[in-house]
Amino acid sequence: MRYDATLHPIDVGFDLRVHGMTAKLSRTVRTVRYQSPDGDDRVARGDLNTILEELRTAGYKIKLAD
């Protein structure tokens, strides 16, 4: 499956949440692969607000690209 972006530790090389790092996402993303707090593989889909809410709930800090 293809994603617009991925924050999953296996793809990034480390867990952004553990290091308190902020991820920068495009305003056009509609699918983002990530890891839940339980360690499950997840995909946030939909409009930007839905994706941001899901990722922030999972513990990710997100900044939108200009």
pLDDT tens-digit readout, 29-45:
999 999 999 999 999 99
* Geometric angle at alpha carbon 27, from 42 and 52, rounded to 5°: 40
Q: Report the pLDDT value the prediction gives residue 38, as an integer from 0 to 100.
A: 96
> Which residues, given as ranges, of the chain have pLDDT below 70?
none
Give the tokens for residue 62: 């997100």
First to last CA, the chain: 27
Q: Report the pLDDT value the prediction gives residue 37, as an integer from 0 to 100.
A: 95
CA-to-CA distance for 18 and 65, rounded, in angstroms? 22
Range of the domain at 35: 5-64
Tally the domains of the chain. Answer: 1
CA-to-CA distance for 51 and 34, rounded, in angstroms? 11
Q: Report the pLDDT value the prediction gives residue 66, as an integer from 0 to 100.
A: 79
